[in-house]
Structure formats: structure tokens, C-alpha cells
Amino acid sequence: MDLVERRIGLLFALFLGLLAIAAVRAGYMGVVKGGGLSNVASSQQVDERVVPARRGAITDRHGAPLATSEPADDVSATPYLVKNPVAVAAKLAPILGVEEATLVKELARRDTGFVYLARRLPADKADKVKALGLEGVDLTPGYLRAYPRGMLASQVIGAVGTDGNGLFGLEYERDKALRGRDGEQRTVFDGGRDAISVRDVAPTVPGAGLRLTLDAEVQARTEEVLQGVGETFRPKGASAIVMDPRSGHVLAMANWPRINANDPGSAPAWATQNRAVGFTFEPGSTFKAFTVAGALEDGEVTPSTSFNLPPKIQVADRLIGESHDRGYVTLDTAGIVAQSSNVGSIMIGQRLGAKRFDHWVRRFGFGRPTGVALPGEEQGVVLDLDDYSGSSMGNLPIGQGELVTPIQMAAAYSAIANGGVLRTPQIVQAVDGRPVRRAPGRRVVSSRTAFELRKMLAGVFAPGGTASEVAIPGYELAGKTGTANKVDAASGTYSEERYVASFVGMAPAERPRLLISVLVDEPKGAIYGGEVAAPAFGKIASFALPYLRIPPS
């Protein structure tokens, strides 16, 4: 009997001991490890994910798509639910385009409950992943940014990164409006990871669409012409702007070399710069038009005012001549403009005087951004009147000693084309279907002065003018060539080898409806604006005038 009682007592003691151990274990799991286990259970049962908003489309003025957002999924995994990482990686690698070893490493992780395997996977490939039905592999709906026209206006439109943020161009400048507002979705799973409840915690708000003033066909032709300039003259870079001077609408803004917006990483970082707004240069002879405009408006000269021009002119310590040697000659104001005389332009500037010259330079918008609403716009450099030296009125009236941007030159010449009214260049026409309010124009010179100047600029295309080889049958053209030495950074003096060739022109000359600016940085084989940039103007205008149904003169 004692033996039976002892056995019962031992069994009871063992039972009490096991019960005590279980109680301690339960207390440890509930108090010490409770928070962590609760989080793990929650992570397996509840999933809260961001639902990306569809990025707004970018179109040209006619609605042709330039940037779109196409359905694409992010592929992710819950590593501890993937039973055989090697087998899963073998199935996913050819679809995702990722090395198997890389996928195995991610799928075998045990330090996290979530890893990305691919971002923005196109819908056709995402469907293949979904069809595999792999446990622990999930797809989150999203969008892939695409640029249907590839290189077209790529520096203007820009691109986005894998995280959906704008990197440069309008994608960067208008990122907040384009991207919209992401939503949030909460999914509850059962023990088998089947969704039993899906709820939108916060709805997505699609991004706003942008309709630009650009015309895709004019843009394409402008880029084609610049490509030819690049292949012929092998410059450091080139840009061209096409505007409607009446409204300030930018119809084309092209840069060379071009980049592919669908693969911006394949181009060097400097190529993403929009040179049309971010490149500063000494304009050279194209600036002479504003010297003459101020003198006309102030009554210091008329188109027929005659000047006896020596071969060279002394201004303080500088002796300045023409781009080509010549003897004494008599030219009127119109002839000085047509033949781009340095000596004549300086003499007109001297009649105007430093104070009034500075006034007109600033009145035409130089020295400050145009407000075109594109990122990276430079304001240029205009010398303060107090900083003028004795020789300043020898170099400033002929476009040396100040820095401008291509968009500033295009806007200022548009004022001449638009009857003396300066308008802010506009690139975005509407946001989410709502027209962007156009800034009011500002009169800078009288309509008479603008008309007289256009007539003089038409002489540039006449025999003896600096662009006499450019012509478009049926249209009278007006414009100005420019050839400017670049400053050598090492010596601080003007280089004899590096130049900027430019041309700004308008058509028809009497009532312009088209303004085209072309700039070529460091061309090789030829340097003069009349040889390098003016023919490009002619080719662009030859297409744009009939395409835009602008009647002949």
C-alpha cells in the first residue's frame, strides 16, 4: 500500500512541476515576449500598403501624349512564407530579369517580413508572376511612367525615378501636381494567407494632367534640324526655340544632344540640362538689335540716319574693328543692322549713352528670369551701371560683356515681332483641363519702333546681309545673326578658337506669327551665325510656316 501511495505522490508532484513550468512559460510569453509575438501575428494577419496614385499625363497642345502612366506592379515577398527560395527564384528570375542568386538571397532573409523583388513591373510580366501562384510572393498595383515619343522634348518634359519622383524637367518642376496623392489599403488575412477583408483607409487622388503649348510635329522637325547641325558642325551643344510671338506660347524647345526619356541613365548627367533656359552666353551681334531699338525709341537715330564709319573705332583703351577688314564706308542705320557693323553699332550706342543703354537692356528683360516656369532657368548677367568702365560702351552695344540665355533672347525678339509688347514665354497651357492664366504683356517700345526695326532686320536676308543665302519663297523674313567669342577660362581673354553661333528670326516680317531662335555652342568647321545657325532657322521655318497654315507675306 505504501508503494502505491508513494507512486501516486510522485506522479502528483511531477504533474505539479509540469504545471508550474507551463505557468512560468505562459507568463514569459505573455509578459516578456507578448509585444513581439503580437506584432508578428499582426504582420501575418494584417497588411497595410500604400496604393500609388496614377501620375497625370503630359500632352502637347493638340492632346498628343508625351508622358503617360501605364499599369505596373511592384513584386514583393514575405520571406518566412517562402518554403523553397531556390525553386521560387528559378521561376521568377526570367520574368523579372534579375539574377537567380540575387533573388535567393532576398527570399532567404529572416531579418524582415517584407522585401521588394522588382519595382514597376509592366502589366504583361506582372500577369505571368501572378499566374505562378507562388506562396509568399505578392503584387502591389502601381504605374510605370512611359514616354511614347522617346527622345522628343526629353529635356523639357524630364523623367521620373523608380520611386515615382520627378528627376528633372517638368516632371520635377510640376511633381506635386502630377503625382497626385497616394492612397492606403488595409488587408486582413486568415491563417492560410487568404484575404478575408480589404478596406481603403485613404482613397487615391490621381495626379493632374498637363497640356503643354508644344506642338509635337514642330518639336520633332526642330529636333531633326538640330540633329543635322550636330552631325555637320560637331558642337558642344545646341538649342532651338520656336514661339508664337503674339501669345508667348513656346511651340518647340529642342536641345542637342538628345536623350531618351525612357532611359535617362544612358546619357551623361550634363545632357539632361535644358540649354534653352539654363545656358548663359555672350550674345554678340544678335544683341545689336536692342541697342538700335533704344536709339530709335529715344529719337537718337532713324532708319535712314547716315554714319561715316572708319575701319576701326577707339573706345578708351580699346581699338575695335569689324569681323572682316574693310576701309572707310558710309552706312545708314538700316545698313549697319543688315551688315552687322560693330563700328556702326558702337557709334549708335554712344549716341544713346550709357544710362539710357542700361535702361533699354533691362527693359527688354535681360538680367532676370523670363518666368517661363521651367526648372534651372538662369537670369544671365547684366553689368550694373556703376560698374561701367571707360570701354564698356565699346563692347556692351555689340553684345560683349553681358550674359543672356536663349529663352531671354527669344522673348526679347518676340517683343519686336509683337509690336513692341513683351510677353512671358509660356510652356504649360492647362493643368487638369483648367487653362493657365497668361501673364499680361508689357509694352517696351512703340509699335512704330518695332515696325521700323523689323524692316531693318529684313535687310539681313537681302543681298549683302549676313543671312542673304537663306530664303523661303513667298515669305519675307526678318532676323539677326550672331557670332561671339567665348572667354577662355584659363587666360580670362576671348578665345580665338571657341565661338557661339546664333540666329534669331521671325516670319512673316511685317506681321510675324513665328519666332525662331537657334544657338550652336562651339561649332567646328565654321563659326559664323550666318553659316551655322541661320540655315537651321530656314529649315525649321520652311516646315512650320505651312504646317501652322501661316499665309505668305
User: How far is it, in rounded angstroms, from Cα 283 to Cα 486?
Assistant: 10
Q: Which residues are catalytic?
A: 285
Residue pair 505/534 in contact (Cβ under 8 Å)? The answer is: yes
Which pLDDT score, from 0 to 100, does residue 136 have?
87
Residue 185, pLDDT score: 73
Phi and psi based region of residue 72 (left: phi greater than 0; alpha: psi -120 to 50; beta: remaining): beta
Q: Are 140 and 82 in contact (CB under 8 A)?
A: no
Element (H, E) at 497: strand 494-507
What 3-state class would DSSP assign to 436?
Answer: coil
Residue 384: how many CB atoms within 10 A of its CB?
Answer: 8
Residue 375 in any domain: the answer is yes
Q: Which residues contact 165 (CB under 8 A, 6 or more apart)?
A: 175, 179
Q: How far apart are CA 524 and CA 535, in angstroms?
A: 16
The reported pLDDT for the residue numbered 3 is: 63
CATH number of the domain bearing residue 285: 3.40.710.10
In whole angstroms, give the CA distance from residue 509 to residue 502: 19
Under 8 Å between Cβ of 284 and 403:
no
Domain-located, residue 357? yes
SS3 66: strand
Coil, helix or strand at residue 500: strand
Nearest to 520 by CA among 550, 483, 551: 483
Low-confidence ranges of the chain (pLDDT < 50): 37-38, 40-43
Q: How far is residue 139's CA from residue 126's CA, in Å, rounded to a whole number?
A: 8
Q: Is residue 140 part of a domain?
A: no
Whether 230 is covered by a domain: the verdict is: yes
- Label the pairing between strands 65-77 and 137-146: antiparallel
Tell me if 141 is assigned to some domain. no
Q: How far apart are CA 481 and CA 409, in angstroms?
A: 12
Three-class DSSP category at 112: coil
- My answer on whether omega of the bond before 283 falls inside 30° of 0, hence cis, is no
The per-residue pLDDT for 241 is 98
Task: Tell me phi and psi for residue 64, to 5 degrees.
Answer: -65, 130
Q: How big is the CA angle at 170 (ends 168 and 174), to the nearest 5 degrees?
A: 110
Other C-beta atoms lying within 10 Å of the C-beta of residue 2: 6
276, 332 Cβ separation under 8 angstroms: no
Number of domains in the chain: 1
Cell numbers for 413: 525678339
Domain annotation covers residue 19: no
Nearest by Cα to 309 from 349, 352, 346: 346
The span from the CA of 345 to the CA of 333, in Å, is 9
User: pTM for the complete prediction?
Assistant: 0.86
Name the residue among 360, 365, 305, 367 with its Cα closest to residue 337.
Answer: 305
C-alpha cell read off for 210: 498637363
CB 142: neighbour CB atoms within 10 A? 21
Structural domain boundaries enclosing 284:
216-547
In a domain, 152, yes or no: no
pLDDT at 193: 54
Residue 281 is assigned to a structural domain of this protein: yes
**Where on the phi/psi map is residue 261: left (φ > 0), alpha (ψ -120 to 50), or beta?**
alpha
Q: Dihedral sign, CA of 530, 237, 66, 424? A: negative
